[in-house]
């Protein structure tokens, strides 16, 4: 007599196993390999030093000025782009809610930047929008009498530019999610508020915002993870330059591993980024559950 429940479990396991194995092979193993690499000294340009390094790579981070400036840039980049996306996305959603005709078209238009590959977005901005003399942006600033700027060649402007590129590409995501949530808000609460003579600002502050809260938190989490793992658009637009002005942690890890060939140290930097991303995500999820 075989236990039917046992057989069922076995069958379930058999169905589940291929997916699990695939997941382990494509995500867990590389992750373990990354951690393992980060405690080795693997520098292809100095093969004679190869060996177990313990935490030496992590210790080295402390004295690496470029790592700290890169970490700072990552925070600036992430915070700015996420705040901008939520604020602009929410403003757009509120505006579009008022539009009665053609809302569908606006939604389709909003999807376009999202479906572009980030590397394409980066190249597009680099060569068509921000190029000095020929770019759309320069055309605008000159037409407005503000003069011509080297958008990607000046350290401060370059940072602003890559923030603008990321915001441009991903604000539509925030916009669409918030628009959908706005549309789902129950109209009777607003009617009641109006009867109680709540002004538009009061309605927004005390009703709309609290009710959108879950949607906003989700948007913030997702956008934050995307911003922390941003790579292709910056790589295509500035390559981390000029100098190191836009070299966020991701680009620094890439440069260490694949340009400087210091794989062990590059893995340590990538691990730090991984820990930061996980901490931030868990923190935000906890915040969401807490309420």
Partner 1 sequence: MSKKPDAPASGARRRIVQGALALPALTAAPWVLRYAHAQGDLGAYQSAKVDWRQAQGEQITVAVIPAGYFDALIAVTPEFEALTGIKVRYEKVPPGQIRQKAILDLSSKGTTYATHAADPMYYDLYVSNKWVEPIDKYLGDAKLTDAAWYKPDDMIPAWRGANSVKGRLYGVPFDGESTLQIYRKDLYDAKGLKPAETLDDVMKNAKAVHDPDSRVWGAALRGFKGAGQNMYIYPSIFRALGGEWFRGGSFNGNSKEAVAALEWYVELLSKYAPPAVRNWNWPDLADAFSQGTLGLYIDANTSASVLNNAERSKVLGKIGYARWPKGPSGKRVSSIWNWGFPINAALSDKAKRATWLFISWATSAETQARTSWKAKGPVKRLGLNRLSLWESKDFATLAGGLGSNFLQASIDSMRQDLDVEWRPRMPQWPAVGETMATAIQAALVGQQKPKEALDEAQGRIAQILKS
Q: Does 65 bind partner 1 (CB under 8 A)?
A: yes
Pick the closer one to partner 1 by CB: 113 or 155: 155
Q: Does 58 bind partner 1 (CB under 8 A)?
A: no
Pick the closer one to partner 1 by CB: 11 or 258: 258
Q: How far is CA 178 from CA 48, 174, 208, 285, in A?
A: 55, 6, 11, 18
Q: Does 34 bind partner 1 (CB under 8 A)?
A: no
> 197 in the Ramachandran plot: left (φ > 0), alpha (ψ -120 to 50) or beta?
left
Residues 6+ apart with CB under 8 A from 49: 41, 43
- Dig out the tokens for 85 from the structure: 């996306």
Question: H-helix or E-strand containing 275?
Answer: helix 263-290
Q: Does 36 bind partner 1 (CB under 8 A)?
A: no
Q: Does 46 bind partner 1 (CB under 8 A)?
A: yes
Stretch that binds partner 1, among 1-9, 85-93, 125-133, 268-276 (CB under 8 A): 125-133
Q: Does 69 bind partner 1 (CB under 8 A)?
A: no
Q: Does 25 bind partner 1 (CB under 8 A)?
A: no
Q: Does 61 bind partner 1 (CB under 8 A)?
A: no
CA atoms in the 13 A half-sphere facing the CB of 278: 6
Q: Does 105 bind partner 1 (CB under 8 A)?
A: no
My answer on whether omega of the bond before 76 falls inside 30° of 0, hence cis, is no
Nearest to 241 by CA among 153, 157, 129: 153
Q: Would you say 263 and 37 are in contact if contact means Cβ atoms under 8 Å apart?
A: yes
Nearest to 53 by CA among 35, 76, 27, 68: 35
Q: Does 223 bind partner 1 (CB under 8 A)?
A: no
What number of chain residues touch partner 1 (CB under 8 A)?
32
Q: Which of 154, 198, 218, 277 forms a contact with partner 1 (CB under 8 A)?
A: 154
Stretch that binds partner 1, among 5-13, 22-30, 43-51, 116-124 (CB under 8 A): 43-51
- 151 three-state secondary structure: coil
Stretch that binds partner 1, among 7-15, 112-120, 161-169, 257-265 (CB under 8 A): 257-265
Contact residues toward partner 1 (CB under 8 A) are 44-49, 60, 63-66, 131-133, 148, 150, 152-155, 239, 241-245, 255, 258-262
């Amino acid at each position: 007599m075989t236990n039917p429940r046992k057989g069922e479990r076995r069958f379930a396991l058999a169905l589940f196993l291929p997916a699990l194995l695939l997941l382990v092979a494509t995500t867990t193993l590389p992750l373990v390999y990354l951690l393992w690499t980060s405690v080795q000294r693997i520098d292809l340009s100095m093969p004679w030093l190869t060996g177990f390094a313990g935490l030496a790579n992590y210790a080295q981070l402390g004295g690496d000025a470029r790592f700290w400036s890169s970490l700072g840039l990552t925070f600036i980049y992430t915070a700015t782009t996420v705040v901008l996306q939520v604020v602009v996305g929410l403003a757009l959603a509120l505006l579009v809610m008022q539009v009665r005709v053609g809302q569908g078209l606006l939604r389709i238009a909003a999807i376009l930047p999202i479906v572009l590959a980030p590397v394409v977005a980066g190249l597009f901005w680099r060569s068509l929008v921000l190029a000095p003399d020929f770019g759309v942006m320069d055309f605008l600033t000159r037409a407005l009498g503000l003069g011509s700027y080297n958008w990607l060649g000046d350290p401060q402007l370059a940072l602003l530019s890559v923030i603008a590129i990321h915001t441009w590409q991903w604000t539509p995501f925030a916009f669409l999610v918030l628009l959908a949530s706005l549309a789902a808000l129950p109209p009777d609460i607003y009617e009641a508020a109006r009867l109680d003579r709540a002004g538009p600002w009061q309605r927004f502050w005390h009703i709309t915002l609290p009710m959108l809260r879950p949607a906003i938190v989700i948007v913030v989490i997702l956008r934050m993870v995307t911003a922390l793992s941003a790579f292709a658009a910056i790589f295509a637009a500035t390559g981390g330059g000029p100098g190191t002005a836009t070299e966020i942690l991701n680009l620094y890890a890439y440069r260490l591993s694949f340009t400087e060939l210091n794989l062990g140290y590059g893995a340590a930097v990538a691990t730090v980024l991984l820990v930061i991303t996980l901490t931030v995500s868990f923190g935000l999820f906890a915040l969401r559950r807490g309420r």
